[in-house]
Amino acid sequence: MRLQWLFYVLSASVLLFPAPAYAQWYRLPFQTMGTQAYVELWAEDASQGKTLLTDVQSEFERINQLMSPYIASSELSQVNRDAATNPVTVGAEFYQLLQQAEQLAGLSDGAFDISFASVGFSYDYRQHIKPSAAELSSQQPLINYRLITLLANNQVRFTQQGVKIDLGGIAKGYAVEQAIGLLAKAGIKHALVTAGGDTRLLGDKRGRPWLVAIKHPRKADGIVAQLPLSDSAISTSGDYERFFIEDGVRYHHILDPKSGQSPSGLMSVTVLGPDATRTDAMSTTLFVMGLARGMAFIEQQPEFEAIFISSEHQLYFSSGLAQ
C-alpha cells in the first residue's frame, strides 16, 4: 500500500568542526519487499559505514522472509495455509506485530484490518483483475479481525475457513523502524531509511533538517508539500501505487474492510509520528476512514499528525501542522 517519495536533502555545508577525511555519507538503494528502498547514513569509519549498509539490506530481507505472502515458507504463508484448521505457532516477533495490528483494528473500529487479504488476494492490479460480484459477496464477510485469535504461546488461529491475512499495511514500516534501530545501536547519529512510502529519520542532516517532499498523487514529478523533519517517521498511503482503471473506476490496493473495495474519497494520506511501524499502519487507517472520520481520529492521537489530499485535489492538515 505504498507510494514513491521524493527526498530533497539540504546539504550540510557549514559544520562546527572539521570532519575527518574518512567521515562521510554512505548510501545504498536496493529492492526489497516488492518496492524500492534506500538507506543513507553518516559514519566516521568507512568499514563500518559499508558494513551497516549491508546490514540494513539484510535486515529487510530477514523480515521479508518472515512476512511475505509470496514466500511459501514465510510465517505469514504458514498461518494463511493452516490457521483455519489448527493453531499455528509463530515466532515472538511475528506474534507481537499481529498484536499491534489487533490493537489498531480495535482502536479504529476495524478500519485497519489485516484480514482484508481475504478479498485482497482476488485482485491482480497488473492484470486488471478484480473479484466478481459473487466472489466479493462470499469473501467480504471474511474481512473481520475478530476472526483472528491470538492464543497463548505465540499461537494464531482463524475461527473460519477462508480467512487470510496480509501485513502490507504495517510490515514495511516495521522493517524501516527495525533498520533504524540497528543503526542507532551501532552508534550512528544521522541516517535515513525508506521503503516505498515509509521513512524513518535518525537525527538530522548534520546540523540541518532532512527536507522531505510529498509527491503529487497525479503528477509524476510534482510535489504538494515540503516538510523539514528530524528524528521522526513519515508514511504515506495513496491510490496510485498499485491500481488499474476500468469503466472510469479506480481499483487500487487499499481496501475498505466494510466493502472489500477501494475507497474513493482521498488520493493520499501522509502521517507523521515517532516510529515508522505506527505511521505506516496509521496512514492506511486514515485513508480507509476518509477525510471527516480520519481527521477526527488523528486529532485524538497526540503523537501523530496527518496531511490528507482529497479526490478534489484539496489539502487538509491536522491541527498540529495547520498552526
Domain segments of the chain as ranges? 70-158
Task: Determine the pLDDT at residue 323.
Answer: 65
Instruction: Tell me what the pLDDT averaged over the chain comes to.
Output: 92
Over residues 24-29, mean pLDDT: 97
Find the Cα–Cα–Cα–Cα dihedral 167, 170, 172, 175, rounded to 10°: -100
20-29, 214-223, 229-238: which range is least confident on average? 20-29
How distant is the alpha carbon of residue 266 from its chain centre?
A: 17
Q: Does the pLDDT of residue 238 top 60, yes or no?
A: yes
Task: Determine the pLDDT at residue 126.
Answer: 86
| 164-221 residue pLDDT tens | 999 999 999 999 999 999 999 999 999 999 999 999 999 999 999 998 889 899 988 8
Task: Determine the pLDDT at residue 213.
Answer: 83
Please give the residue that has the higher pLDDT: either 103 or 322: 103
Neighbouring CB atoms inside 10 A of 36's CB total 15
* Cα 195 from Cα 188, distance rounded (Å): 19
**DSSP tag of 20:** P
Over residues 136-161, mean pLDDT: 97
Angle at which helix 46-67 crosses helix 75-82, to 10 degrees, equals 10
* Cα 25 from Cα 43, distance rounded (Å): 7
- Nearest alpha carbon to residue 5 among 189, 279, 257: 279
* Cα 323 from Cα 308, distance rounded (Å): 16
Q: Does the pLDDT of residue 14 top 50, yes or no?
A: no
- Is pTM beyond 0.85? Reply is yes
**DSSP tag of 124:** B
Over residues 94-117, mean pLDDT: 98
Task: Determine the pLDDT at residue 4.
Answer: 43
| 275-315 residue pLDDT tens | 999 999 999 999 999 999 999 999 999 999 999 999 999 99
> Which residues have C-beta within 8 Å of that of residue 193, sequence separation ≥ 6?
37, 38, 39, 56, 176, 179, 180, 183, 199, 200, 202
- Superfamily of the domain at 70-158: ApbE-like superfamily (1.10.3980.10)
Task: Determine the pLDDT at residue 1.
Answer: 43
- Give the number of residues written for the chain: 323
* Cα 120 from Cα 243, distance rounded (Å): 12
Provide the pLDDT confidence category of residue 18 given band limits of 50, 70 and 90: very low
| 36-68 residue pLDDT tens | 999 999 999 999 999 999 999 999 999 999 999
